[in-house]
Structure 1
Amino acid sequence: MTTIAETSAVSLIVLCTFAAEPSHAQEVTKSVDVSVGGNYSSNPFLDANGSTGSISVYAEVAPRIRLEDETSNLQLNGAVRYSTYLSRYKSDVTGRLGLTGDRRLSERLRLRAAATITTSRSAAQDVLLGEPSVLNPDNTFPDLPFVDTTVAGLRTRATSFGLGAGLEYALSPTDALGIGLDSTYRTYDGPAGINYRTTSANFQYGRRLNESLMLKTSVEAGLVDYENRTTGDSRIFSPSVGVDWGLSETAKLAAQAGFAVVNTDLIAGGSNTRTYLTARGSYCDRLLEGSLCLSAQRSARPTGFAGVSIVTGIDLGYSRKITESDSISGSVRYTWTDQTSANGFATEDWNSRFGGIAGTYSRAFSNSLRGFVTGSYSKVQSDTFSRKPNFSIGFGLTKKFGEDG
């Protein structure tokens, strides 16, 4: 199995090729969004007891750079938010940074690569800054930000580093192959969470049956390595089959189903092998004045407190422009983690859950300045605890600098 170091080296080399001198004239787009605002949250870190409400003020900087020519596309985007609480809590920093590249090497061969960094002390709350997938070669399914419900509400900072690279090759006008490598390193700084590394390889084959329907199959194999311990280290093998169905010019339905075989090292020695059903699906529609996307996913993945577990997530996102200057958006998310005593971390089966809903109203005062009002509700609970929910309301201004401003 490819090591994390080898995957990282391959990914960095691939990303460097995008920065090489282009053979075609490049179009460069640069912009920076600067936001300031305030919030009141009844329980911003989803603590268990005591007085938890507080007012905060924040500043956020979100840069975007895009370089594009006839054969390649390189994008850098990120956001850093600094928040100061007027009572009860210290200042907090949340951020993400992503670099993605796509280059057409020939009429049939395409190269993709990505690198990401995210950090948050309340990842369950930071829906907008959620962790994206390191590599999604087929771009079929919207990326569901990973909410680790096993450490949510424990005020633990989670930081993730990810690298990935992949190739796609068109065998014919109707058939295509894809291969990819990716790796992540996730650390926890706080009262809970065990650092871990993952590395995986995937293979995909797709066949277009007609203009609107494509059949797909994929196989993924990966390793999970928990830091400074062998208990919980796992091997995951996960094949699946599915379809992409273009319902119209704007609407698309995608679905895949399969299974995951998980082999985990136990504290008493030896290992345990389990098999789970896995699935994911999405329906997305680019509406005339907005968009709608419903996604769901069930997969075996590592967690910071419960080892490799079955994580299921459902996400609904909606946005709409209601006038030339006014728009609304909203999202609903529900995630639950099923932990089994067979994974070497616990003595009994249990599960943890996170649910949240958020909405935003935005008004553009000019091409580069807009104001917004937000509101949200979220709650985390499990078989062993239930924490106070968080109600939040806020407002702010965003100023765009750059070529789009």
Structure 2
Amino acid sequence: MPLRATRRAVTLPELPADVRSVDLCFGEDRVWSIDLDAAPPVWRRLLSGRGLAGGRNGHPWPAALTPHLRGSTALILRNSADGRELARTEVRFTDEERPARVVDETGVPLAVNKWGRLGRTLDAGDDGVQDRILDRTEEIIGHLDRMGLRPFIVGGTLLGAVRDGALLPHDDDADVAYLSTCTNPVDVAREGLAVGHRLEAFGYELVRHSATHMQLHFREPGGGVDHYVDVFAAFFTDDGLINQPFHVRGPMRTEQMLPFGSAAIAGRSFPAPADTDHWLTINYDENWRTPIPGYRLVTPSTPAAASRTGSASSTATASSGTIGIAAVRMRPAAARTGSCIMPRSCAPARASTWAAAPAASEPRCATDPVEPARAPPDRMPPSSPGGSSRRTTAAPRSRPSPLGATRASIPRP
């Protein structure tokens, strides 16, 4: 079966069983990577009903790419693991006399990211973007550390550090988390909201996707987004599981997390879990050493959905999947102050190093402002990660949310 494509879908040739991920390129520009082991059954049924191959072979184009399927291109298929060319063909999507390209307004190539959206990737960016990302990552880790939190790198950033000592070329951001001392998801959510306000006070442009997931955007002089850094909350629950909403949940002992070790990226040292192999297995799976740029995060919203996926990294249930709020964009604002909302029982210990620090006899909440002001509104906004209609339970009036009424639905990144 040859490589072929229409405006509806692409059909891959028969591939060796050890090829787990492939890159689709328009000419020399990668536009999409496919995890061959993760084609949803609905895709297979849809493609089979339209005369196209299902399973590992047939794949509909992502919605983000369809507006760019105009004109013609040399469609090249490569093995994601080593860049080896597996097949190529000439494709004409429309009769227009133009090359099919996927670029932004400045001509920088774009590719479908792990969220199914188009974005710049590190392998297509300018030579200095990786240094800028690492600079900002160090800066944000420093801020979180000075807040009394325990920051460390996670996700693709940790994966790239452990596997290659570099940022992943197919990635488009850096991932940082902090290990909360709270064990109750509601307390973790409240802490996350307050941490976001502290970061805003430093002047960062913050896009919030849940109470425990925020993005800090950094722009070019012309106004476009140059790169961003994700900040997550991680926490242990009383059942012995580590949680990093929205998609990490699995068994982990405290000594596998603390004291933090370090992982190097481009010669720079970053804090990392004590047992990085164990963390990455929970985050991804036991095959995390094999590059799969087309890997997609799957986060079931219910325990039943989690049981259908069967993946340790996608069984985020009550502890990590229900503490989200509507995604909101918050531009840099003047430094704000407000009453500390964190319960004293889980105030972070001061951690000027990456080791576990004992709690002080009089713990001070890391989100305590210098000048307390009027308490913010007392209800958490409705919704869940990704902006669904499911509502979260209102926070008790004795513990007001700092987010207030400032919210506006935006797409998840």
TM-score interval, normalised by the smaller of the two chains: under 0.3
Which has the larger helix fraction?
Answer: 2
TM-score by length of 1: 0.23
Which has the larger strand fraction?
Answer: 1
TM-score by length of 2: 0.23
